[in-house]
Amino acid sequence: MASEPRTTDSATTSHIPPFARQLGPYIKSRQEALRIRQILTSYLRSQITFAEEDPEQPNPHAESHLVLCAPHEAVVDVVKRAPLELTGPRKEYLEALRANVAARQEYQSVSDNLASKAQQRKARPETTTAPAPNYELQTYLVLLRDRRRNAKLQVFQHYLQELKGRQTAELEQFGKTEDQNQHLQRIGEYEDGRQGGSREEGVEALVHKLERAVIRARAQLEREKKLFEELKAQHDDRKNTGNGDISSASKIQALQRTRDALVQWVEEKLMSVGANDEGPTEELSAEEIEDAANLLEERRTQIMQQYTAYVETRRALLEIAAKACQPVAPGPAKPQEPSDDNDKPTVEEPLTLEPMDVMSFANERLLPLSKYQRGLSLQKSYLSGMLSKEKTTTLRILNRLGDESHLLPEYPLLSRQPRFKHATGGSRGSLTPRELAPPDEITSLAEAWAFASGAAREHEQEYVAQKIVEGGETAHEALQTLEEICDTLNQDLQDVFEDAQDSSSRSKSSPIEKQTGPWSGLNGQVGVAD
């Protein structure tokens, strides 16, 4: 029996591909997987109690572990509590299963209660409520209340439309009246609430309250009309009295302030423009002015020469094209009449060219020129493409090296530092137009590398020189210390050096002999170079 699993394992692992050899311990055969599932099913079956057990089929839900993973209404006694020694996913699964069963039972109970209540509600006889005896009276009171509120709202809307075009200062004076209106409205609402609450009062009391409300609304309307007339009169008086003041004093002061502000702004702008113009301009020397004039003159002559060559070439091409377009069979030439005047120059007639001559000229002169020009254009495009490709490659390499380098951040160019920008900006006035041209990106990166390498070399040289000086000082101090020790020992320094050289030469040829005596612990060669 012990040999069977081995044979099955060897049989299952024999057909496993090479890349899945590491998963061999976790790959099981069908029989082994079925046995593991049966064990898990029996374990879960022992933790679950079902509602009904069929005598013919004692465990209807124990056939598959998938059914036990999601038990529905078959579970009665929730789920057994997980043992204390059980940990890990099994314990968590049993707890989740218990919570699921409890939630389903609670849902079932709630749904049963709702169904019973719905049945009771259907079985209950429907009873119609009879209208109250004072229903018509309450409806009439609500209608009167709505009419009174509508009248108030119309009054408020009328005055609000009149106050829309007024100034804000005038609207502030209506604050008190608005507060009074709000207070009256609150009183009316309170009385309306009391009227709605006391449904058992008589009709006479309600009519009396209605009359009081009408009288109060009329008094409020008259008060608001008086206030509106007073405010209108005050506004007219203020308008009449304010026109003269604005035209005489306020307008003059406003114009003076505007003029002063404009004058001050113009002066500030002129001062700023003058400062900007005077800052970067510097006086050039006579030699620089002469060089600039010579450069401009050379450039002008070069442009004129190119233009004249272009005009001559174009004229020759036009003449050739005109000759080629002449008719093939020209008319007979008229005989020249002899002229008696010898002083008048004779005008030569243009020579006629045959079409074959034009074609031969085009084949001999124009076609080679066009081919040469086409070749030059192709070569130019090829060279420009190669240069752009090499430029991008060089830029990519320089940028990558710049990101990886520690010299560029440590030694940046002076012109790129913020504190030296004003110095470089002032020196631009003395540069030639070629130097003022924008620098190439590769050139700027190469300059940065060159400056960083030079600065690093200078720094290293300074460091080495400093260390050499420190070493010389240390050697000098050591020599002085040796002299003091020799003086203390009553010895001569030169004799000590000679003895040391003799001993070193002897030590090379013979083994070292350990000295004896009270001074054998001292070594006179400490810090002394050979």
- 1-25 pLDDT, tens digit each: 333 444 445 555 567 788 877 888 8
Strands 48-50 and 75-79, how do they pair?
A: antiparallel
CA gap 298, 292 in Å, rounded = 10
CA gap 187, 191 in Å, rounded = 6
State the chain's mean pLDDT as an integer: 73
Classify residue 75 by its DSSP letter. Answer: E
3-7, 26-30, 283-287, 519-523: range with lowest mean pLDDT: 3-7
Classify residue 335 by its DSSP letter. Answer: P
Is the pLDDT higher at 79 or at 481? 481
**Cα Rg of the chain (Å, integer):** 59
- 10 Å Cβ neighbour count for 48? 20
User: For residue range 188-198, what is the model confidence (pLDDT) as tens digits?
Assistant: 555 555 555 44
**3-state secondary structure at position 79:** strand
Any residues with CB less than 8 A from the CB of 91 and at least 6 apart, and which?
Answer: 82
Partner residues linked to 79 by β-bridges = 48
364: tokens are: 């001999």
Based on the number of CB atoms within 10 Å of its own CB, is 418 exposed (0-12), middle (13-18) or buried (19 or more)? exposed
433 has a pLDDT exceeding 90: no
Any residues with CB less than 8 A from the CB of 48 and at least 6 apart, and which?
Answer: 61, 68, 71, 75, 79, 80, 97
Work out whether the CA dihedral 453, 457, 458, 462 comes out positive or negative.
positive
Percent of the chain scoring above 70 in pLDDT: 62
166: tokens are: 């007024």
Q: What is the pLDDT of residue 344?
A: 46
